[in-house]
A and B are shown apart, each in its own frame.
Chain A
Amino acid sequence: MNPPPLDLRALVADPTVRVLVTCGSGGVGKTTTAAALAVAAADAGRKAAVLTIDPAKRLAQSLGVGELDNTPRRVELDTAGADHSGELWAMMLDTKRTFDDMVAAHSTPERAAEILENPFYQAISTSFSGTQEYMAMEKLANLAATGEYDLIVVDTPPSRSSLDFLDAPQRLSAFMDGRMIRMLLTPGRGVMRVVGAGLTLFARAVRSVIGGQLLSDAAQFVRLFEDLFGGFRERAKSTYQLLRQPGTAFVVVATPESAALREASYFAERLRSDGMPLAGLVLNRTHPVDAAVADLPAASAETIAGLESDAERPAAELAGAALAVHAQRAAIAEQEKRMLLRVSAAHPELPVRQVPALPVDVHDVDDLRVLATRMGDG
């Protein structure tokens, strides 16, 4: 059974769609997909911004622009043949700066300065394993709140689980509400007494590894942070709600390989269960057989070998090579089809778009356009 079709060009041109999130495991082409979709939206006459989080600066490369900073920058489009009213804006997330801005927005300048200087804050704001995801969503909320863009396309980090952005705010809250820090500082008190001597030892062990200084920095941070905490939690909640709104669409990206597709299946389930609007699956870099020979059965190995060993006639050798290429393409296409069938068996109602691999790597806006044409029917 074939999955329902997914027309991504129509999706990004739809004026009711305001936020698009691409997710998937590492190396499947999420960033390029996000950029191509933003180009398609701009070509459809919308003011589109693409927000990438990937520190490998892949978007910068694929857009052919240099360094991107923490605010969107206009990317010049060659608009020949396209709707002239569209605009493309691109940015790369600066995690620490976004966090700093968030602190400043919820506090007095003096308090903010103290927090920014705290070593524990510096550790949390750069290396907590969900900070990047959290700040991506914070930046998305910022950009959405400006009301300046018709469509914001967000790429997600290649983390262990690409859905960390759903959980990170909550996990970070648990760290910052101070209970754990108080427990490590004064282990003998409160409910924590139940673990008694073991905990005291643990606290000592932690201190010996991470240093007592860091723990007292943490305690100071908690004190400074207490007032801000409520504001942060409200903020995280409203961002989460933004992701569930009807104007938001999620696109899961995968390549036709079992590991990537298994991740994709997991993402689809998780998004569904969180009530996130899932538009469909992009099956990226497929290798369909050329349309002109789609029905041509692969030649037998004997036929191919017979032609290839015909040393007298170079054309025969090349004919054999062409048949060998076709046989391989057919085998790969067949394997990819089997992969897709497995996903569709598990998610029969999930729309799928197959995006054939480009013969070259994607470097610039023109390449992104070519990619974008493969993402829709129009």
Chain B
Amino acid sequence: MARLHIVTGKGGTGKTTVAAALALALAVGGRRVLLVEVEERQALARLFDLPPLPYAETKIAVAADGGQVRALAIDVEAALLEYFQMFYNLGIAGRALRKLGAVEFATTLAPGLRDVLLTGKVKETVTRTDPRTKRRAYDAIVVDAPPTGRIVPFLNVTIAMADLAQRGPIKSQSEGVAALLHSPQTAVHLVTLLEDLPVAETLEAAAELREANLPIGSIIVNDVTDPLVPADALDAAATGQLDQAAIATALAGAGLSYPPGQVDGLLAQTRDHARRVLKEYDLEATLAGTGLPMLTLPHLVDGVDLGGLYELAAMLTDQGVRPAATELLP
């Protein structure tokens, strides 16, 4: 079962929210989960309403039975210096280099270097062990990854860059990252809304990921409309064929005598709602055609605060998202 969960999606689909909810769901039962941010946007801090996160693993939420979620916002410059430090002793020069802009320069010169550093850091958190308990430091890692348009180049960067570092420690490190990302230990989740463009992008991304032999975990459909109209009346409601007079009478029976104009207004809203629901059914069927497991999350009317995240996490748990068994190392 996967321990590394990569969450991607088109911009605006709520991938950060879904990544956070997934991390909470995976932390249930006393598990330790690390939620990783790679885009330097401080989106996790905003979501959890915290001050900007330092480049350090910081506890940000607890789950049932002593589970906890830590967050790590990767700082690319700091990661680069850390990375070089693994192979060369830079001493105090690191900070001076950063000040001079040398680090930004290096990551720009070799554009893939950023992604090498990010995926390298992710791998380190996945394989790290706690020397005291002899266990993995984290039971699961959830990455709020770059958007769908960039996900395959991001995950495959070490393969693309393989010819740049042809030997030595950097090469073997890169190979380790590629092996992890292509193994059953990894699951890429695609977050989408039930709208044309996000669905089209999700299908494209799924095809690209398959092509690249990257393991897809699931499609997570976000902001799904909860159908309020009975299923057998959806078509009639969507085409404006509901019996206005009968509904007005039923409303009056419940003590709500509305003038005809208002009943029309109510039915116009009902029609929009029914159209939306039918459209979503269509798109959901299209997504189901991929044969991938699907998870759905509703639109939260009150917006997503910390309470909302726990609500979403509970819904993922209800749909079968389970923490991996805590792994004991041999």
- CB within 8 Å of B: which residues of A? 25-28, 55-56, 58, 61, 120, 123-124, 127-129, 158, 160, 174-175, 180, 183-184, 192, 194-199, 201-202, 204-206, 208-211, 214-215, 218, 255, 257-260, 262, 289-293, 296, 299, 303, 306-307, 310, 313-319, 321-326, 328-329, 331-332, 335, 339, 359-361, 363
Contact = CB atoms under 8 A, between A and B. Distances in A.
B325 interface: no
B301 A315 contact: no
A194 B97 CA distance: 11
B272 interface: yes
A339 to B, nearest CB: 8
B229 A321 contact: yes
B61 interface: no
A198 B97 contact: yes
Contacts of B262: 292-293, 296
A335 B97 contact: no
A201 B89 CA distance: 8
Nearest to B147: A26
Nearest to A306: B254
Contact of B265 (A26, A124, A296): A296
Interface in B240-267: 242-243, 246-247, 249-251, 253-256, 258, 261-262, 264-267
B39 A205 contact: no
B273 interface: yes
Given A27-B10, A201-B90, A316-B250, A210 B109 contact: yes
Nearest to B92: A198
Contacts of A201: 84, 88-90, 93
Contacts of B228: 321, 324-325, 328
Nearest to A203: B102
A214 B90 contact: no
A138 B293 CA distance: 45
Given A202-B94, A257-B303, 12 more contacts: A26-B147, A160-B39, A198-B97, A199-B96, A201-B93, A262-B46, A292-B264, A293-B266, A323-B266, A335-B303, A361-B195, A361-B197
Contact of A205 (B87, B91, B100, B256): B87
B102 A198 contact: no
A38 B195 CA distance: 24
26 contacts: A26-B11, A26-B12, A27-B13, A56-B197, A123-B111, A128-B111, A198-B93, A198-B94, A201-B89, A205-B88, A210-B110, A210-B113, A210-B164, A255-B12, A257-B303, A259-B47, A296-B258, A316-B254, A318-B233, A318-B237, A318-B247, A322-B269, A325-B269, A328-B228, A335-B301, A361-B195
Nearest to A56: B149
Given A208-B170, A315-B246, A359-B276, A175 B108 contact: yes
B210 interface: no
Given A26-B11, A28-B12, A359-B276, A319 B251 contact: yes
Top 9 nearest A-B pairs by Cβ distance? A27-B12, A198-B93, A26-B11, A292-B265, A315-B246, A293-B265, A127-B111, A27-B11, A210-B110
Contacts of B170: 208-209
B12 to A, nearest CB: 2
Given A180-B101, A201-B89, A318 B250 contact: yes
B303 A321 contact: no
Contacts of B100: 180, 183, 192, 195
A62 to B, nearest CB: 9
Contact of B243 (A192, A291, A315): A315
Contacts of B303: 257-258, 335, 339
B41 interface: yes
Contacts of B269: 289-290, 293, 322, 325-326, 329
A259 B43 contact: yes
A314 to B, nearest CB: 7
A183 B102 contact: yes
Interface string B287-304: 000000000000001111
B230 interface: yes
Interface in B155-207: 164-165, 168, 170, 195-197, 201
A201 B250 CA distance: 82
A210 B13 CA distance: 35
Most B CB within 10 A of own CB, among A61, A174, A192, A318 = A318
B327 interface: no
Contacts of B302: 331, 335
Contacts of A214: 109-110
Contacts of A292: 261-262, 264-265, 268
B109 A123 contact: yes
B265 A307 contact: no
B197 A58 contact: yes
A368 B265 CA distance: 25
Nearest to B259: A292
A328 B40 CA distance: 36
B197 to A, nearest CB: 6
Nearest to A198: B93
Contacts of B111: 123, 127-129
A153 to B, nearest CB: 20
Nearest to A129: B108
B266 A307 contact: no
B106 interface: yes
Contact of A290 (B108, B250, B265): B265
B270 interface: yes
A86 B106 CA distance: 49
A325 B256 contact: no
A315 B250 contact: yes
